[in-house]
Amino acid sequence: MNRTSLIEQIRLKKSFLCIGLDTDLDKIPPHLLDLEDPIFEFNKQIIDATHDLCIAYKPNIAFYERYGARGWTALEKTCKHIPKNIFTIADAKRADIGNTSTEYAKAFFEQMDFDSITLHPYMGEDSVGPFLQFKGKWAIVLALTSNKGSYDFQMHRLENGMPLYEQVLRTCMTWGTHENTMFVIGATHEEMFTEIRRICPDHFLLVPGVGAQGGDLEKVCKFGLNKDIGLIINSTRQIIYASKGVDFAEKAREEALKVQKQMEQYF
């Protein structure tokens, strides 16, 4: 999906909500566990109930890899079930040098047809560059994450006084463009968004951490919105695990609708 199509979906739905599909068999409704493919059935019902309220879905690949071949099968079926006008994010946090990155890109962009993939930039340009060679696909680079450990390295100041996350932003912006590169910025760092927007005013930011992790949607929007909205706000647990009963999809829709209604005021 290109930038124009993504912005069109955002404006059409008055939403910039991404729903994380971190599907855990230990947390899904028990009545699904006897089915042949409970992971896919859970995802299918969540998607069917919420696809008109969100503009993206983000499966975290670890929740599928842990189940081996059946997990990958469920992931592929999930990808095929997501409507084509919805942006898809492989939350895989991959990246390696040379042809290894190319193979990762082929797996997620060609085999499973994701629109984007999350990447770590630690190994430099030759680990991210191969992902930028695929037309209509996006590299979403980790810059400032929402977890407590983000302070271990990302906030560390370099000799020039610049925090490491800022160096990541500035350097990665030279590798791609705002047409094929996004950045992960955690919602728990809302005070940083003004400076981040000064550095990269036009790039989309994938923002995890709203909801269960304590991020504040209103504050993120206040400091992080740009002329094209420019934010993809991810919410996972508060939506997909709103209920463990037979009404889980209905309750997920209710929670997604609450977030979408909050977002509607920015249009």
- Per-residue pLDDT averaged across 196-225, rounded? 87
Instruction: Identify the CATH number of the domain in which residue 59 sits.
Output: 3.20.20.70
Confidence band, pLDDT 50/70/90 cuts, at residue 187: confident
Indicate the helix (H) or strand (E) that contains 196. helix 193-199
Q: Which of 14, 77, 93, 106 is catalytic?
A: 93
Name, in order, each residue with C-beta under 8 angstroms of 99's C-beta and a sequence gap of 6 or more.
130
- Per-residue pLDDT averaged across 182-201, rounded? 90
Give the whole-angstrom CA distance, residue 219 versus residue 235: 15
Confidence band, pLDDT 50/70/90 cuts, at residue 213: low
- Per-residue pLDDT averaged across 94-105, rounded? 94
Give the whole-angstrom CA distance, residue 250 versus residue 108: 30
Strand partners of residue 215: 210
Listed range (17-31, 124-138, 163-177, 182-196) with the worst mean pLDDT: 182-196
For the chain, how big is the Rg over CA atoms in Å? 18
* DSSP characters over 225-258: -BTTB-EEEEE-HHHHTS-SSTTHHHHHHHHHHH
- Per-residue pLDDT averaged across 192-202, rounded? 94
pLDDT at 212: 57
pLDDT at 214: 59
* DSSP characters over 102-155: HHHHIIIIIIS--SEEEE--TT-HHHHGGGGGSTT-EEEEEEE-SSTTHHHHTT
Three-state secondary-structure class, residue 220? helix
Residue from 195, 266, 212 nearest 27 by CA: 212
Give the whole-angstrom CA distance, residue 184 versus residue 248: 29
Q: pLDDT tens, 132-180? A: 999 999 999 999 988 888 888 888 888 888 899 999 999 999 999 999 9
CA 73 remoteness from chain centre = 21
State which residues form the domain around 188. 3-264
Give the whole-angstrom CA distance, residue 12 versus residue 198: 27
- Per-residue pLDDT averaged across 97-106, rounded? 94
Residue 218, CB-side half-sphere exposure with 13 Å CA sphere: 1
Question: What is the DSSP secondary structure assignment for residue 71, as one 8-state letter?
Answer: H
- Per-residue pLDDT averaged across 100-119, rounded? 97
pLDDT at 74: 98
- Per-residue pLDDT averaged across 43-70, rounded? 98
Looking at the structure of the chain, the number of domains it has is 1
- Measured in residues, the chain has a length of 267
* φ, ψ for residue 34, nearest 5 deg: -85, -5
Three-state secondary-structure class, residue 221? helix
- Per-residue pLDDT averaged across 73-84, rounded? 97
Residue 77 designated active-site: no
